[in-house]
Amino acid sequence: MKYQKDGEINKNQQTIQTVMRVHKHKDNRQKELHKILTDWIIDDLQPLYVIQSPSFRRLISELDPAFIMLDEKGIKKVIGNSYNYILPALIKKIKLEAKNVLLTTDM
């Protein structure tokens, strides 16, 4: 705290607590970050439990303290919504453009 000459506390002076306070992201930014995290999990074939790792959570917290991490259920919901959004377009594209389709699966 900074004191004025008369001994009163200067109320305009910022404290360490106010300077260091983490401000929450707006909803659209939070959703964008959730999508980026989900894209990384999907693109790099990461297991969903990676988001439960304390070291991963610490990394994310250090990189962006305002980011609220989704839990596994939240990630699954984002993946499900993405799947439901893209599936009709994918089916349409296959019907219009594909001459042959080869499917494989890992069991």
Q: Going from the first residue of the chain to its last (107 residues), give the mean pLDDT of each consecutive group of 10, the final group possibly shorter.
A: 60 60 86 93 93 94 92 91 92 91 83
**Under 8 Å CB-to-CB from 80, ≥6 apart: which residues?**
none
| Cβ atoms within 10 Å, residue 51 | 19
Contact 2, 15 (CB under 8 A): no
The reported pLDDT for the residue numbered 56 is 95
The reported pLDDT for the residue numbered 6 is 64
SS3 of residue 9 by DSSP: strand
